[in-house]
Chain A
């Protein structure tokens, strides 16, 4: 099966916009809690626009942050995306560019932050930021955040693939019929599913012969 069909089947099982949002919020909230920080946010890369988009945030400013966009090549998050390296910065207010951009848009300028890339194999999905901790980061905590970010990236990648598959299911592309078929078989009851699978196996055998 092609990746698209794999993804389509996955979509039939797990994908939904609400679950995707819930996952993003959960990652941000858990990151905030692990590091006893004031806030946390996730910026994902929009490759077509070459921009970073706030997709989730915790804390009072969350509603204003989500949906905001920045050029992907600038700022602290931009450096993290470009280099795939995490970065811990304290006293961010001393960085006028970052402070002004964010503060003017959101009314909230963090004093300190740790930004870590969300990496899946060779790809970078975006940046996870943990903002305003009471204490400074140790190297062990950096390592912990890196491990957490890797786990979060795997979950996000799965969910993103599922959402892409949803689009295939909803659309009228060449593979939409196959994807709908897979979803329909999956939705069948216990009694009829074996018959449907038998039929699909027969079609498979004919196509392969």
Chain B
């Protein structure tokens, strides 16, 4: 498919026009992990970590190509600025470290939406996600959610726009029985935890809205101050899937979010041959 055909929305298909949208078949008859990400180090894939910031010189994270923060602008509107604060909690560093451990050569961008105060966090989250999508991220790791319904519709629109712009949003399912967003949306990949230790073991869940389970219990992660912690929660399962998505997108840059989800389904640890 030509670049132009990819970028210009087509609302209908004129007679004889099928040739113009011919798309090369992307995958083999048998979808294997070797085909999906064998040999990939994540090089060429850009991953945004929307979280509490990332400690950029941490040995468990390595180089962070860019760090931005969402803060209140002159009119009170969320504005994206370069960030030199690092990580105000440790959580973003942990997520970045997990992604790096799976996709060592991916390009990492920290998008800090937390730490500037409690108020406005929902608006900051929206603005940070929008920035990540508009700057063409291949993968966005969102190990957080908002419970505020006023943001749900806007988040939904953003998630859908990412879906069509080939940005894969990997979002953490809530660990508690509460309504929160964006992980519930079908246009994102939602992740919960399993209790196994293999970082490449992940399961497809035939009973959504949580669609995949990845390693999320007792995970050793980098934390602020150059150290490490052992953490548990869906927010640590999520970067495992984000890291695998980075490997996938690095090797197959043209994959759309629905194709990425299909590949994850086909290569999940519980999908058995007939």
Contact = CB atoms under 8 A, between A and B. Distances in A.
Tell me whether A and B are bound partners. yes
Interface of A: 45, 47, 50, 71-76, 78-79, 81-92, 94-98, 116-117, 119, 121-124, 136-139, 142-143, 146-147, 149-150
B224 A47 contact: no
B264 interface: no
Contact of A50 (B117, B143, B145): B117
B118 A47 contact: yes
Interface in B169-224: 172, 174-178, 180, 193-195, 216-218, 223-224
A79 B52 contact: yes
B134 to A, nearest CB: 23
A95 B145 CA distance: 24
Contacts of B12: none
A82 B146 CA distance: 9
Contacts, number: 140
B235 interface: yes
B161 interface: no
A137 B227 CA distance: 21
A33 B180 CA distance: 29
Interface of B: 52, 88-91, 114-119, 121, 143-149, 172, 174-178, 180, 193-195, 216-218, 223-225, 227-235
Given A84-B145, A95-B227, 8 more contacts: A72-B117, A72-B118, A73-B88, A83-B114, A87-B235, A95-B223, A116-B176, A137-B217
Contacts of A76: 89-90
Contacts of B172: 85
Contact of B148 (A79, A122, A147): A122
B225 A74 contact: no
29 contacts: A73-B88, A73-B116, A74-B88, A75-B89, A78-B89, A79-B89, A82-B144, A84-B144, A84-B145, A84-B146, A84-B174, A84-B180, A85-B233, A86-B175, A86-B176, A86-B233, A87-B231, A87-B233, A90-B229, A92-B229, A94-B223, A95-B90, A96-B224, A116-B176, A136-B218, A139-B232, A142-B175, A150-B176, A150-B178
B230 A138 contact: no
A114 to B, nearest CB: 8
A73 B145 contact: no
Nearest to B118: A72
A122 B118 CA distance: 14
The binding surface of chain A is classed by DSSP as mixed
Which residue, A83, A117, A136, A147, has most C-beta atoms of chain B within 10 A? A83
Most chain B CB within 10 A, of A47, A86, A124, is at A86
Closest 4 CB pairs of A and B: A146-B176, A88-B232, A83-B144, A96-B225
Given A47-B118, A79-B114, A85 B234 contact: yes
A137 B175 CA distance: 13
Interface of B: prevailing SS: loop
A97 B225 contact: yes
A85 B88 contact: no
Nearest to A141: B232
Contacts of B174: 84-85
Contacts of B145: 83-85
Nearest to B88: A74
Contact of B117 (A73, A98, A138): A73
B177 to A, nearest CB: 7
B72 to A, nearest CB: 13
A189 to B, nearest CB: 44
B115 A74 contact: yes
B117 to A, nearest CB: 5
In this complex, which of A95, A123, A139, A143 has the most chain B Cβ atoms within 10 angstroms of its Cβ? A139
